[in-house]
Structures are given as C-alpha cells and as structure tokens.
Chains A and B, each alone.
Chain A
C-alpha cells in the first residue's frame, strides 16, 4: 500500500491524470440529477448527445491533456496509483470509442422498450469510467476498484429491461458469477500482498526480482489471472457470457463484448507484463492454457448457435483467446500485438453487433439473415466485411490483428499453439461464413427491414471504415500501441 498517505494531498497535477474519468463521471451525475426530469420530453435525446460528447471529450483529454513527452514514467499521480502512459492512453481512447458507438447503437432499443434513458446512459458512462480507471491504475487496488465499478454497472445494464424475465435471469447469473470472480481477484491481490508486501505494480515487480519462486505466489498469480479471465470471458471462466449477452439488449451485449473485454485485456496485460514480469515462465503456461481453451471452445461451440447474440458471445470468447496469444510471449512486441488485436476487435465486433441491432428483432436470430443481400445489399456487404474481419481474412483489420498475435506466438517458439489457433480459425470461418451463406444464398423469408435510425447507420459507417482502413494501412495505428 505504498503511497496511500499521499492521496490526501492530491494536487491539480494528480487530478489532470483523471480528467477523462472525471468528464465521464460528471456527465453521469448530470444525467442522474438533471436529465431524469426531462426524459419524457422531446429533449430525451439529450442523453445520447451528452454521452457522445463526454466520450469525445474524454478521448481528447486522454490524448492531449497530459503532453506526450511527460507521459513516460513521469506522468503518475496519486502517489503512483494512477498513470497516463501510452498504454493507458491507448485503451482510454478505445474505451471512449466503444462507449460512443454503444450509445449510438442504443437508440432503437431505448425507443422500443421502457428503459429509463438517463439512468441507462449514466450506467454506460460509469461503466466506462471503471474501465478507464482499471486501465490507468498502477496499483492492484485501484485496478480492482475500476474493474468492479465496470462490472456492477454492466450487471445493472444487463438487467435493465426489467419486464423481461430473460434479462433478469441473465443479470442474476452474471451477478453471481461476477461476485465469485471478484472474490478470486481480491484473494489474489491479498495473497500477492502477502508475498511481496505491496499492491503497487512496480513495487511488486521489484520485490519479486531475484527471489526464489514461491508456491504462494503461484496461487496468487493463478487467482489474479482467473479473476481477470472472468472479465474477458476466457475459457474456463466464460460461462456467464453467452447467457448475459443473450439476456441483455443487443447494444448492452455489444458494449460488454467490446469495452469490458478491452479493459480486461488491458488490466491483464499490465499485471502480467509489469507486475509479474519476472515470473514469465509460469505466466506463459497459464496464459497459453487460457488462450488455447478459449479459442477451441469458442470456435467449436459457436457452430451450433442459432441466436445471434449467443453466437457473437462465443465468437467473443474465441477472440479473447486470440488476443491473449500476444501476451504469452511476454515481450513489448507481443503486448503491442494484443493491443492492436483489442483495438480492431472492438470495432469489428461492435460492427457485427451493429448490424444485428440495425435489423431489430429480425437480427437476433440467424434465420433473420436469410436473403438479406437481396433486400439490403449495402447492409449485407457491410456485415460481410465484419464477418471477414472476424474470420481474419485480408484485407480487413481482423487479418492484421491475427497476423500480429500469431507472429508473436511464433517468435516465442510456440508454433504448435499458432497452428492450433489457425486451425480453429477455419472452424470459426465456418461459423461466420454460415451467416454469409444465409445472407447471400438463401431466399428472404421476412419482409425487408425498415430504414435504420441515422445513429445506427453512423455507428456502422465508423466501424466499417476502421475495419477496412485498419486492414489496408495498419501502420497508422502502430505508434499508438505502446506496451506498458
């Protein structure tokens, strides 16, 4: 608990590091206090506008508030608990982007169901705050707080459609498993503190350097990895994801799949690479097992899914596995590969969810995609792009992401793992291309979908653009993906 005493003397320089989080919290509080009164009025869309504004402001703040040159080791605050290094910056922008896109995608579900608009957006903002806090913490306790804030808000978001039993059931399942995961995480933190006498990530690293390996430390690392693996839904800690995604409204599922996975990966990356950098040999095994299981289970179980949200849930499990591949090597290049993967994955999965959302009820089941290409060729083409990206076919961003993580695995001499990963990508190709078969090669059964809300179209355009441009010019991202 180094530096706890300093927190009371938080200065303006410390607060600057939290500007993105403060913007989001401020907006969330404003919604709860003010917007609650106007949500039955034509001004209801103010919540959407406010959320997007806050997301943009947070992204800008994350990029420009702290000048880059001081963002090295110097830019820490709150007694070394919070940082604004390149790693945090990257993920904060990514989280802000997924927040804005999720808000854009939520319009239809908010219009169609009786969901309190102000609270919904406030919860989205607070969940994002938690994610940002988690990615910028240099201390296991603040990391824990961030992750828990994210999870609690997500649970409420999953169950926010109170009239639907499925949503309630999903929220309760998610809550039970998430509390279990929190306990594991906290237990891991306490054991780590027991072994090293610190919760500060840098202090843990220096305490572990040069010491004999300790069985207690092994347990601590296992518990920490398990707790964070829950957050990214890696097998065998994935069981909540399909139920939660299916019970939640599609935009909430999209937000969970994108934002919370990115935040979980970021937290896992920092813990593995910095705190336990000296235990790379043990961590490698843990991460390799998590990754391999996630890829295999996610790809194979997705085959039999006919509910789109469940299908995308299993797809997100498999992708968690692919993203973990980059961390196995334990090198900065590997971490960059995982960051690139997380970034592109966020956009392509939000895009795929976006099409599901755009189609409304029809998009929730695989059968709804029958004959889409004949009715809406543009939408089908965009969906095909996301599916190709999720499969990892060039020239989409998915290929670049996959190339990067597999390259880092091969560099770490785990060729068998690389072969396993690509073979499973053929299995998942079957899953994704089955949707393409339904879109292009079957006759339509449902009437053509009505026009999409302009916000949904905007979100689809942004995600499609990133998915395509990221595949053609991946180097535009590289300077940003700096490992912790």
Chain B
C-alpha cells in the first residue's frame, strides 16, 4: 500500500510547507498552510506506526542513497523502536503549536510558521537519521529556527535568551563535530550500526565520550549546563517553549542512547559515576530551585531540569527497566511540559502576566481550564493512573537497585515535584479571585480545548496502558544493553 519513502517524505514535507509559506506572501493563508502541512505530515507518517515490526531491533523503513562518496557519507534514514515514539511526539506537538499560535502570534506570521516548519523537519530528521553525519546536520538545523522563534517572537528578554541559547548549544555541538570527525577518522564510516560494532580503544572512547557529552549535556540540559534553559523557555513564545521542552531537550538524551551507549560502551562505564551523581543533583537541585520561582513559565522551565534529571538517571542505570523508563519518561515529559506551557500561554494571552501572584481563583472564572490544568499538574507530579507515574516508577526502581542513595534522591525529587506543582495550582486556580482578573474572559474557547485535548488523551492513555509505548522499546533496549555491556 505504501510505496513512497515514508521517512523522507515525513521529514521533508514540513520543509516543503515552509517554502510554500515563504513564497506565498499571505499571513492568513500561512496559518492554514502550516496547519495543513503539519496534519499531512502526521498523515503520511501513519505507515510507520501501522507497519512497524515490534519484534525486531534492527532499523526499519531503511532508506539509503549515495551522498558524499569522497567521505563515505551516505544519506541514510531508518527508525527503530526507540526513535519511533519521538517522531510521533514531534509531529503531534507541531500541530498543537500551530493551533496554540493561531491568535497569539500576530506579527510576522509567515516567518513564524516558516521557522516552526523548518524546526519540525529538523526534529523528525534527527530521529530518523541512520548515520551520524545526517544526525548532526539536523541537530544543527534545529538551532536556527529556534533561535529566531525565541528572539523574534519571545518576551521582553528575548534577545539575550536567544543569543545565550545559541551560544550554549553551538559550543556543545562544535565539540561534537570534532568527535564525529575523530570517529570518522578512526572508523572510516559514520553509520550508527557500523559504528556500534567498531570496538574502539578505551582511551579514544573516553575522549569521544567527553566530546559528545558536551553537546548532549547542553541539550538535555544536565546540571550545571542548564542555565540557558530558564531564559530560553521563559522568553520563548508558547510554541517555542513547547518545541524546546517537548523535543529539543529529548535530543540530548536520545544522543546518549544512539551514540554514547552503543558506540562508546567502555567510556560509559568510566563516566557512569559522575553521570549518576550529576543526574541526582539535577533532580534535587532543580526541584528546589523550581520551588522558589515566582514566574509561572520559569517554574515550569526549572521543573524540566529536575525531570530531565530523571531521564539521565534512568539511562545511566544501564538497567532495562531504567532505560525503558527513561525513554517513556522522555515521552511523558514531552507531553506534559508541552501541555503546561500551552496552558500558561493560553492564560497569558488573556492576562499578559506570568507572575504567580497576579493569579488566584482562576477556577471560578474558568472551570474547564482549571480542570485541565489540574490534570496536567497531577500528571507531571507523578499521580498514579496518569502518564508520568509509570516512567518515574520504573526509573526509581532501577535507581534503588543501582545505589540506595540514587533512589532516595529520586524519591525526594518526586516529593518536591508534587509540592511545587500542587502549590502552583493552589496559587493560580484556587483561593480568592484576584481582583485584577475580574472582568477578563478567562475560559478557553473551542480551538484551545481542541489543542489541549490530544495531550489529555495521551496523558490518560499512557497512564493506563503504558505498554503501547513500552512494547516498542523492549527489543531495541534489550539489544542496546546487551551490546553495550550492561553490568
């Protein structure tokens, strides 16, 4: 039934849409084209989910074509169970971004949608790439549209935030570039599967791990390289925050799974201790810093530091449950942080303030909004029956098996997470109605409810039946850990 190259079409369809938006000089039309493109991208990607063979750990839907023969670099695409959920997440979130920006973005609408669609191509391409060269191309391609999204459409401190984001990510990724080139020099190829069997010398592995760590740790972001994140997430427009929190942060962790674990197993053992310590610090430190934030967006931004700490903790337990939980948690965090940023963005459009103290009693004026916000806050806090619970549970279980204090600090992080989220909800939605909010129509309209609805659905479905993601992960994670020399 499908005789088109699914991955290539899925990856480059948004780019075609971006070109269309750029050359059709109409703002009104550009929203519709962007919506149509993102929906079409989702549509053409359906064969990926329908025809995927969960029993195989090999790359599927493989496409390959000659590209730069003199460097032995080819154009290669392919997905396995680890990358597939991220492609889904990226294509869904971009649709929601278009929906969320329908009225929020009023100036330079064309440029906004061009940047958003280029970012979608970069995101999907990154997860679909089957060699390191292409991976790097999409990795860098991602930076430019986000730089513009933050810097052009963001809040008051947008320029500083955009430049800081750009310099942090570039500083990391150029070191990765040297790592890639060194790998190319050592192995003569950049194909992921070929590199995984390369058996590099431990000495080389350690340096390569450090080079790749620079790029991945900035993106995740791992403590203490997280300082770009609060600026960027806070100042970005809603759609930018969604892309940043939903996908960009996952790129780093995905890099660990795709590059560090399979290709540099000896170095992973070497760096295991520091990575686990840094993860635990990120969880606890991130949570404490989140607790004292007075700006809603900043609060959610810092909570990402803590939540991504869980992810790296899970990955570096090198335990099957831990790694699967980490991947599941990446998806969960992608859904929930996107949802929370969307919620904040929607109310910000009406109140034009992000200070928590300017809110209060929203529940009375906007019951639907408050119910949805409550659901997402509870989910992010790890409430059983909603999606985050399963991932965190798996990670904490593995953490306790690895070291007692790792598990303890993760539990501590969960407790703090519940505190800041419930407290946030209490201050925003409950209590007396803030007089400043009187007279504002705070309730969501149909478009906004429709934008949040898919995320509600995902949060509940993944909470009740996590196996729908986990079933994709079992085989590739087992093979990853078997090849990577798990303890």
Contact = CB atoms under 8 A, between A and B. Distances in A.
Interface of A: 336, 373-374, 377, 381, 384, 388, 393-395, 399-400, 403-404, 406-407, 410-411, 415, 418-419, 422-423, 425-426, 429-430, 433-434, 436-437, 440-441, 474-475, 478
12 contacts: A384-B144, A393-B143, A404-B71, A415-B178, A419-B178, A422-B175, A422-B178, A423-B171, A429-B170, A433-B147, A437-B159, A441-B162
A433 B164 CA distance: 11
A400 B136 CA distance: 12
B152 A440 contact: yes
A434 B137 CA distance: 22
A121 to B, nearest CB: 36
Given A406-B177, A406-B178, A437-B159, 9 more contacts: A336-B70, A399-B140, A403-B181, A406-B181, A419-B175, A423-B175, A426-B170, A426-B171, A430-B167
Contacts of B144: 384, 388, 393
B140 A393 contact: yes
A475 B159 contact: no
B232 to A, nearest CB: 14
Interface in B47-101: 66-71
Contacts of B175: 419, 422-423
A395 B70 contact: no
A393 B70 CA distance: 20
Nearest to A381: B22
A394 B136 contact: yes
A374 B108 contact: yes
A200 to B, nearest CB: 31
Contacts of A374: 108
A475 B69 contact: yes
Contact of A377 (B111, B143, B171): B111
A429 B159 CA distance: 15
A327 B325 CA distance: 49
B167 A407 contact: no
B166 interface: yes
A429 B167 contact: yes
Contact of B174 (A422, A430, A437): A422
B301 to A, nearest CB: 20
A432 to B, nearest CB: 10
B35 to A, nearest CB: 21
B69 A437 contact: no
B231 to A, nearest CB: 14
A407 B140 CA distance: 18
Q: Lowest 9 A-B CB distances belong to which pairs?
A: A422-B174, A394-B137, A441-B151, A410-B181, A475-B68, A426-B171, A478-B70, A410-B185, A441-B159
A340 to B, nearest CB: 10
Interface centre among B158, B170, B184 (most CB of A within 10 A): B170
Contacts of B171: 423, 426
Contact of B163 (A377, A393, A433): A433
A202 B71 CA distance: 30
Interface of B: 22, 66-71, 108, 110-111, 136-137, 140-141, 143-144, 147-148, 151-152, 158-159, 162-163, 166-167, 170-171, 174-175, 177-178, 181-182, 184-185
A410 B182 contact: yes
Question: What DSSP secondary structure best describes chain B's contact surface?
Answer: helix
Nearest to B107: A374
Given A429-B170, A475-B69, A394 B185 contact: no
Contacts of B110: 377
B357 to A, nearest CB: 29
A245 to B, nearest CB: 26
Nearest to A474: B68
A410 B151 CA distance: 35
A396 to B, nearest CB: 10
Contacts of B182: 410, 415
A166 B140 CA distance: 41
A433 B167 CA distance: 10
B163 to A, nearest CB: 7
A437 B151 contact: yes
Nearest to B108: A374
Given A393-B144, A407-B184, A411-B185, A475 B70 contact: yes
A143 B159 CA distance: 49
A415 to B, nearest CB: 7
Contacts of B159: 437, 441
Contacts of B69: 475, 478
B228 to A, nearest CB: 13
Contacts of A388: 144
Contacts of B111: 373, 377
A394 B68 contact: no
A441 B67 CA distance: 36
A403 B182 CA distance: 11
A388 B158 CA distance: 20
A381 B110 CA distance: 12
B166 A433 contact: yes
A426 to B, nearest CB: 5
Contacts of A403: 71, 177, 181
Contacts of B143: 393
Contacts of B70: 336, 475, 478
A288 B265 CA distance: 34
A410 B163 contact: no
A399 to B, nearest CB: 7
Nearest to B158: A441
B289 to A, nearest CB: 27
Nearest to A433: B166
A384 B174 CA distance: 19
B140 A394 contact: yes
Contacts of B185: 407, 410-411
A399 B128 CA distance: 21
A29 to B, nearest CB: 42
B166 A429 contact: yes
Nearest to A424: B174
Nearest to A400: B68
Contacts of B167: 426, 429-430
A381 B19 CA distance: 12
A65 to B, nearest CB: 27
A112 B289 CA distance: 60
B178 A410 contact: yes
Contacts of A425: 170, 174
Given A429-B167, A437-B162, A422 B177 contact: yes
B148 A440 contact: yes
B163 A418 contact: no
